[in-house]
Amino acid sequence: MSRQWWWSLLLVAQVAQAQFVGFPVGPNLSQTTHTNARTAAVSLPFFDDFSIAINGRLDPALWVAGSGTYVNNTMAVNHPTRNVLTFDGANATGLPYKFDNQNAQGPADTLLSHPIDLQGLTPIDSVYLSFYWQARGLGELPDADDSLRVQFRNKDDIWQTIWVQKGGILNANFSYAYLPIRSAAYFHGNFQFRFQAFGRQSGRFDTWHIDYVYLNKNRKTADRFVRDIACRLPVSSFLKRYSAMPLKQYLVRPAAETADSISTDVRNLNGSFSGLKGQNSITFSYTLRNAQTGKLIQEIINGLPVGIPDLSSQFISVKPNSILTDTSKRLVLNSKFLLKTTDNDPPLATALGPSIPGIDLQRNDTISSQTVLDNYYAYDDGSAEYAVYLNRPLGRTTVRYVLNRPDSVSAIRLNVVPILKKLTDQSIIVQVWSNKNGKPNSLLGQKAHKVSYPTNRDDFVEFPLDFGVAVTDTFYVGWLQIGQDGVAVGLDRNNRREEQIFINLGQEWIPYTNFRNDPSLTFFTGSLLVRPVMGGKKTAMAVNPIGLVTSVVPEKSSDWNLYPNPTAGLVRWDTDDIKQIEVWNAAGMLMRRTENVSEKQTDLTRFPDGMYLLRLSNGQKAVVKKILLRK
């Protein structure tokens, strides 16, 4: 992670306006923690475009387990084909390599091949290793002191560095590396190669991506251009406003909630494909199925032919069917595109030259996605490329959702990202808000929880409410940051729904988009990985804003005013209605509880200076006030 970038974040923290601090993270299509039982060396050709990763995991026939890398299709920009492999400063589960040292630098993710049999070959056999690489993508640009390296293992079991790429240079495209193997020391029966990233070890920083790794003999410089047409970008959502929503909410207005089109794009990797007229035109099929039962909902057998120029891409799309007869509690839809290409056609291979002998290049001709209609809402695609937090304690963040019929919120799911510093001893308060004039208005319910991290990358932590919070039409869910250290929540940079985000550092809710054009602030586009879970619990008519759940009683600014604020210790009020007081510190710890209050004041003198939350209750309603203690 760049020191210059880090200091810019510290400077941002001094700004009085509400502002997100951001960290690059990454998606969870795989953790390379599988077991490997391979004993025999791999034979040439060695090829992986990461498109057939089983359950999102690396191919165990090619790679040694435990690399910490992850296969994904959302983290890179302008990648060659579907899926890339990403390197950063976190292990396979997403935890930092060094969680006790925010500035630790050193070896990060390492990708190691299984032994490869090069015995009997010589430099005259023209053995080359090639791959595409990119720094940053949608993550963080590696610093000039960071690097990605390729090393070869010689016959004396010594690793030698063959290729080094330094960070600090931004390029929106993938670059191509073509490495010859000429030394006799590498032509043995247990040759291996490895990629190794060096950078910040305290989280998912300093991101690198590779694709299309290819090792073979009898290669030529011209075989950079492979006769391969492939799927690339993720299939867009079946839904128009969301990426997921409750099935019962969808069925109220199915036509209005269904996307106008579902699309992906197709990439032509061949640099001389147009040399044979007409062969750069492909057709495709599309299916929409119930992923749970396999039932076919929609099928398009022959999409219109699409012409794809050399070394370029082209979108393909279909209009989805909004007529769903499944009315169970949960429905998972699978949208799939299948290309009809001539990647493996022997006559074309002869006429057009280089391909990859022994490799089925139709492996990347299929791409699919799932849309979940269950009991929750989501704007995100389930992958976080960044993590953001408000840069001040007691800041609030919410995301707006709009219902088709009244419902209730029973829990809030957050993608809590482990980065820089472990915060499991800190508290956050999840909250539900009503709507007025397009902004959060009244606090309807909340509950305090200790911070916890998901088991795997991009998993969600569910923070339940004790009772269902009744909501109608438009509502907001989010969290109140208690401690000094910001709790980082994932940001999906591929789905731009920042207009649904609202932040509050004091008494005013501000649309996050208000900061889009402010040159003094860092603006992060995307959708927060914040998901309200709907239904499943009875609603409650009373609240306990910290510790329990819900309030249907609006908090008015004139209710139970406390003064002075800031205070040197003594806090007063003018009402006789307050019967109980709880004092919570900025770390979310209960410092004192006073029952049967008889005086119109409380004394905080014995507590250290700082920000405190005072929960005031009369047994029927409760209100939380912020007090700054400054002696």
**In this structure, what CATH number is given to the domain that contains residue 278?**
2.60.40
**Domain CATH for 77:** 2.60.120.260
Q: Is the pLDDT of residue 629 over 60?
A: yes
Overall average pLDDT of the 608-631 stretch: 82
The mean pLDDT of the chain is 85
- List the CATH number of the domain containing 507: 2.60.120
Residue with token string 């006559």: 347
Identify whether residues 39 and 183 lie together within a single domain. Answer: yes
Residues 243 and 219 in one domain: no
Q: Residue 593: which pLDDT band, with cuts at 50, 70 and 90?
A: confident
Provide the pLDDT for residue 21. Answer: 60
Residue 68's alpha-carbon distances to 71, 88, 163, in angstroms, are 10, 8, 21
Q: Note whether 211 and 133 are same-domain residues.
A: yes
Q: Note the pLDDT of residue 273.
A: 46
* 434 domain residue, yes or no: yes
Asked whether residue 390 falls in the same domain as residue 452, the answer is yes
Q: State what percent of residues in the chain have pLDDT above 70.
A: 85
Statement: residue 157 has pLDDT above 70: yes
Asked whether residue 562 is domain-assigned, the answer is no
Residue 239 maps to a domain: yes
Is 491:387 a contact under the CB 8 Å cutoff? yes
Same domain, 45 and 155: yes
- Note whether 439 and 509 are within 8 A (CB): yes
* Percent of all residues in the chain with a pLDDT value above 90, rounded to a whole number: 58
| pTM of model > 0.85 | no
Based on the domain organization, do 217 and 249 belong to the same domain?
no
388-416 mean pLDDT: 92
| pLDDT > 60? residue 352 | no
Residue 353, amino acid: G
Q: Which range has the worst mean pLDDT, 10-24, 169-183, 521-535?
A: 10-24
172 & 244 share domain: no
DSSP for residue 42: B
Specify if 253 maps to a domain: yes
In a domain, 551, yes or no: no
**Domain annotation covers residue 2:** no
Residues 521, 484 share a domain: yes
List the CATH number of the domain containing 614: 2.60.40.3080
Among candidate residues 486, 509, 534, the one where a domain is terminated:
534
200 and 52 in a common domain: yes
Average pLDDT score over residue span 144-164: 97
Q: What is the mean pLDDT of residues 538-567?
A: 55
pLDDT class for 23, splitting at 50, 70, 90? low
Secondary structure (DSSP) of 226-265: -S-EEE-SPPPPSBSS-SEEEHHHHTTSHHHHB-S-EEEE
Q: With beta carbons less than 8 A apart as the criterion, state whether 549 and 432 touch.
A: no
pLDDT digits (tens, 9 = 90+) for 256-305: 999 999 999 999 988 754 444 444 678 899 999 999 999 999 999 876 66
Longest dimension (CA), the chain: 94
Whole domain around residue 141: which residue ranges?
26-224
pLDDT band for position 344 (50/70/90)? low
Count of the separate structural domains present in the chain:
4
Question: What's the CA angle centered on 133, arms 130 and 135, to 5 degrees?
Answer: 160
Same domain? 408 vs 360: no
Q: Clarify whether residues 235 and 218 are in a common domain.
A: no
Q: Is residue 462 over pLDDT 90?
A: yes
Least confident of 185-194, 233-242, 432-441, 545-554: 545-554
Domain assignment of residue 556, yes or no: no
Cβ density class 601-627: b for 16+ within 10 Å, e for less: ebebeeeeeebbbbbbbeeebbbbbeb
> Do 143 and 251 fall within a single domain?
no
pLDDT the model gives residue 17: 40
Question: What's the pLDDT tens digit per position in 479-497?
Answer: 998 777 889 999 999 999 9
**pLDDT, mean of residues 136-146:** 94
Q: What is the per-residue pLDDT for 319?
A: 94
Residue 35: inside a domain = yes
Domain boundary among 224, 239, 272: 224
Whether the predicted pLDDT of 44 surpasses 60: yes
Among the candidates 371, 404, 435, a domain finishes at 371
